[in-house]
Structure 1
Amino acid sequence: MEGLQAGSRGPPRTPPGSETRSVFTGIIEACVPVRSFVGAGSGARLVVPAPEGLAEWRVGRGQSIAVAGCCLTVAELLGSDGGAVPDGTEGADMAFDLSEETLARTWFGALAVGRRLNLERAMRLGDRIDGHLVAGHVDGGGRLVEALDVGDGGRVFTFEVDGGLDRYLVEKGSVTIDGISLTVVEPEGARFRVAVIPVTLALTNFGTAEIGQRVNVEADMIGKWIERLVLQREG
């Protein structure tokens, strides 16, 4: 069994103002706590701090960030006093506006201050893909049902996905859980296992995962494309 390593990359891929379609790879760059989460009409505003120790982490309004696997747009950068600051300001908090659809598709409705979230900036054309192609469009949810320690410091997690997502679970295929690119092992019905190596536990929110915890799930986009083409052909 195997799980793909989560780690850091070089400079940011999609610069502020870029019109490039956002694509991610499921290799987590940082894991940060929720600074604030406040309802706003039928949606909400989420604020998270800039990652510590990543000097090249500078973002701007309109830039896409995968937050726990969900592609969100930076709506505003905030300084230490809570006021807006210019694009590219080092150490600025990032504010995201979440729609009603986003809250319905993800577990973000249960967000609380301090909850840790995985972050990944969008890749640029020509970047190396260390994980797999990830759109940041969450297909549904799942939950952690079992966590077993293994001798090398890693863990084996068993997840159960919501109805309808099990058809995308293929032995040795790819799946994204809370933004992390992972390899499916022993799928059986709605359940499957993944092996999580120590560095992934250290660099992502998997290190503090609890049994029963809800997660965001994105199926492999190639599998979804193939399914659509087959259905169109048969139709």
Structure 2
Amino acid sequence: MFTGIVEELGEITAVETLDDACRFRLRGPVVTDGARHGDSIAVNGVCLTVVDHEGDEFTADVMAETLNRSSLGVLAVGSRVNLERPTAVGARLGGHIVQGHVDGTGEILERKPSEHWELVKISLPADLARYVVEKGSITVDGISLTVVDAGPDFFTVSLIPTTLALTTLGLKQPGDPVNLEVDVIAKYVERLLGVQGGTR
């Protein structure tokens, strides 16, 4: 379980392409501190398992299902990524409940900078739109954000200077893909109420 509070901006240092998967080597001095084989680390919002760890780098295998459902498939050597270790039991929940299970991908549509913050518009797959509400939470590339406006096929978020400086959203441009994870509580409520597509 994660909170969507990115701990550091890491980097892809190697990519090994396999038949139906790939293996990433990533650099992240903060998240590798004390890391062990089998630990979980969120990479751009995707929960990956540490296969090997040496110095400030770790490797993680990514299966075809994950590559198909997320934007990890576009990563290459030199790509910057958001990294977060799982939250400890009893720790502060600084963002919101994040599973590291990507629901789909969106695309940066527009960026509107201002003096102290920036408004970013992101496309939203139709099957996820019902889970995204104004002032609700959404995870974008592993970052817990508050929705400013929610449309039928887009949403907007406001980014403060810290988010712009310390995460990939400071680097992404229109046309770039991002991983999306909606609030899991909304999905559970829908299931419990027997609601599908907004109707009972």
SS of the equivalent of 1:127 reads coil
More strand by share: 2
Q: How many equivalent pairs are there?
A: 198
CA distance in 2, matches of 1:69, 1:107: 10
Counterpart for residue 139 of structure 2: 176
Q: Are 1:210 and 2:173 an aligned pair?
A: yes
Correspondences of 1:82-231 after superposition (within 5 Å): 91-152=55-116, 154-231=117-194
Amino acid at match of 1:60: R
Q: Which runs of 5+ in 1 are unaligned?
A: 1-22, 79-90
**How many Å separate the matches in 2 of 1:72 and 1:181?**
18
Report the Cα distance in structure 1 between the residues aligned to 2:26 and 2:153, rounded to whole angstroms.
32
Which residue matches 2:13? 35
Separation in 1 of the partners of 2:170 and 2:47? 22
| Alignment pair present for 1:49 and 2:12 | no
Question: Higher Cα Rg: structure 1 or 2?
Answer: 1
Normalising by the residue count of structure 1, what TM-score does the alignment of the two structures yield? 0.80
Gaps (5+ residues) in structure 2? none
Which amino acid counterpart does residue 40 of structure 2 have in structure 1? S
How far the C-alpha of 1:55 sits from its partner, in A, is 9.3
Shift of 1:125: 1.1
Residue from 41, 46, 67 that aligns with 1:70: 46
Runs of 4+ residues over 2 Å off in structure 1: 54-58, 232-235
Structure 1 residues 28-49: Cα deviation after superposition (integer angstroms, max 9, x where no partner): 0001111011211200001101
Contact (CA 8 Å) 2:12, 2:27: kept in 1 or not? yes
State percent identity of aligned pairs.
41
